[in-house]
Amino acid sequence: MVSSPPPSGIYVPVPTFFASQSASNYDPVNNPLDLETQTKHSLFLVKAGIRGLVILGSTGEAIHLTNEERNELISSQRKELDKAGYKDRPIIAGTATQNVQETLIQLEDAKKAGAEYGMVLTPGYFASAASQQGIEKWFTAVADKSPIPIMIYHYPGVTNNIVVAPSTFERLAQHANIVGCKLSHGDIPDHTLIASNPRIDPSHFKVFSGLGQNLLPVLTIGGQGAIDGLAGIFPRVVVKLFNMFQEGADNKKLRELQYKICEGERLIGRWGTVGIKEAIARCWGMGDKEGARLPLQGGFQGGDQEWSNWSSVFEGLKQLELEIEKSG
């Protein structure tokens, strides 16, 4: 049986929220989950038009969580989305393991917790020695036994710069249980060689950019959306660009909005999940801007002074977000 891919659109790799420093259960070494804030943020996103959530990706600090915490996080958000009337918003659960069996265990657990898809990070520990054949066999072994459809997560920045060649994607895209990919790199030619490949069926295998700054060019070459960190702060802004493209908006307007998104994405590129949490806390009052787990704990270096370097851009994006919300 051939699995169906997630719907096209904008997804958010959500950060994992931990107890604030003022909370009674705060622990500087092993800070517990803050599911109340997690739910508040999830609902903020789906109400703004986000198509689904990626939980336990790189932004979600998956490598910092126990399997028990992983399951609690997924199940709590599936329950809260369903309760709020968003059963149609899929949860994509990330994995970041190095061996096939542990990956399958996490995918089994994710299904039980309520995830509809798995986003499987390329195993990069032996990046310098791994062959394209080995990578293909690894993903095939996972897909053969995964209880939920999987997407290939290609993020060289956290996998020792391992390369998954477009030709490898072409072969893996034929697998009935591999339904797409997230490409978290800026190589537009590689995006094109996958998204525009006539031998890859876009109704079965969807290409999502992991970088909102690439959204417009990726859409023009056949990509079907983004799994984007800035959308976790300004969801309506990023969704608007996707919708404008689908509606055939004027190129000048598309470029203007893409430019504004690129300005905001610079903070994500500089600070990653730490910057995303900082911005969510400062812009919307959700979570603790220093609420990551060690060794990321402490927020971005420079505090208010560093934020002043970004504040004008983010104030502008916040105003745009509110304007889009007001206009409906």
Amino acid at 21: Q
| Residues 190 and 158: beta-carbon distance below 8 Å | no
DSSP class of residue 32? P
Please give the pLDDT value at position 292.
82
User: Is 221 annotated as contributing to ligand binding?
Assistant: no
Q: Are 144 and 110 in contact (CB under 8 A)?
A: no
Cα-flanking dihedrals φ and ψ of residue 145, to 5°?
-115, -5
Assign residue 94 a region (left: φ > 0; alpha: ψ between -120 and 50; beta: otherwise).
Answer: beta
* Partners of 180 in the β-ladder: 151, 206
| Whole-angstrom distance, CA of residue 127 vs CA of residue 112 | 31
The predicted pLDDT at position 74 comes to 98
Question: In whole angstroms, how far apart are CA 234 and each of 54, 91, 316, 325?
Answer: 16, 19, 11, 11
Contact 139, 124 (CB under 8 A): no
DSSP bridge pairs for 119: 94, 151
List CB contacts of 321: < 8 A, sequence separation 6 or more: 234, 235, 236, 237
Strands 52-55, 150-154: pairing kind: unpaired
- Looking at residue 26, its pLDDT comes to 86
Domain boundaries, the chain: 9-235
Residue 59 is labelled as binding a ligand? yes
pTM of the model as a whole: 0.96
Return the HEC string of 117-139: EEEEECCCCCCCCCCHHHHHHHH
The span from the CA of 76 to the CA of 72, in Å, is: 6
pLDDT tens over the chain, length 328 residues: 889 999 999 999 999 999 988 888 888 888 899 999 999 999 999 999 999 999 999 999 999 999 999 999 999 999 999 999 999 999 999 999 999 999 999 999 999 999 999 999 999 999 889 999 999 999 999 999 999 999 999 999 999 999 999 999 999 999 999 999 999 998 999 999 999 999 999 999 999 999 999 999 999 999 999 999 999 999 999 999 999 999 999 999 999 999 999 999 999 999 999 999 999 999 999 998 777 888 987 778 888 899 999 999 999 999 999 999 999 8
Q: What is the pLDDT of residue 29?
A: 87
- Which CATH number is associated with domain 9-235? 3.20.20.70
Q: Is 252 a catalytic residue?
A: no
Query: What backbone torsions phi and psi does residue 312 show, to the nearest 5 degrees?
Result: -65, -40
- Report helix, strand or coil for 13: strand
Residue 324's closest CA among 270, 251, 261? 261
Structure-block tokens of residue 311: 């504040």
Exposure pattern of 225-253 as b/e (b: 16+ CB <10 Å)? Answer: bbbbbbbbbbbbbbbbbbebbeeeeeeee
Alpha-carbon distance of 164 to 219, in angstroms, equals 21
The single residue of 182, 206, 277, 318 carrying the catalytic annotation is 182
How many residues would you count in the chain? 328
Q: Residue 117 catalytic?
A: no
pLDDT value at position 174? 98
Catalytic one among 11, 153, 155, 277?
153
